[in-house]
Amino acid sequence: MVYLGLSEVDERTFVAEIVWHFEHPRVAVWEATLNADRWPLRADGFSPVEGAIFTSGPFPALGGEYLGRLDCNVSTLRPHELCVFDVSVPRHTGSPSQWEIHTEWSDHAGGTQAITKIRGARPDSDSDRLLMDMLGSVIRWMYGHIDEDLGEPTAAPSNKR
């Protein structure tokens, strides 16, 4: 199950919500999701530790307004339950845009449900909408690949000599 919703929180901010159901235990989904080697974009300095600071990118699709990278901080981490990234998106001129990527994992229907919310897009900014679409696509891509990878049986060790 995949759900992507976009809603206007107020006149200044949009929130995208991605809901994914995995047929796998929460610990396995958590570990796979926070393994930066699985991410389709570089994450320099990432560690699944509260307070970790990392940079992600480049994002050539961001175009004019943004520099094409994300400066991130793991602001909240509760193992196997919650991870929140505070994200600063530097611009060519002016102050950076401030975003939040908030993911919760819970047991659901014999598997795991992941709910990711991306907050920070300004409704009047084409660049923000493009970035939100791109981040949503990256997260859906990641979840799809994690779901596939976790579903593949691991090979038993061979006893042949």
List of domains in the chain? 2-151 (3.30.530.20)
Beta-strand ranges (E) seen in the chain are 2-10, 13-22, 43-44, 53-56, 70-78, 82-89, 97-108, 111-121
Summarize pLDDT for 102-153 with one digit per residue, the tens: 999 999 999 999 999 999 888 788 888 888 888 888 899 999 999 999 986 5
Question: Is 14 within 8 Å of 121 (Cβ atoms)?
Answer: yes
Checking if the pLDDT of 12 tops 90, the result is no
Checking if the pLDDT of 14 tops 90, the result is no
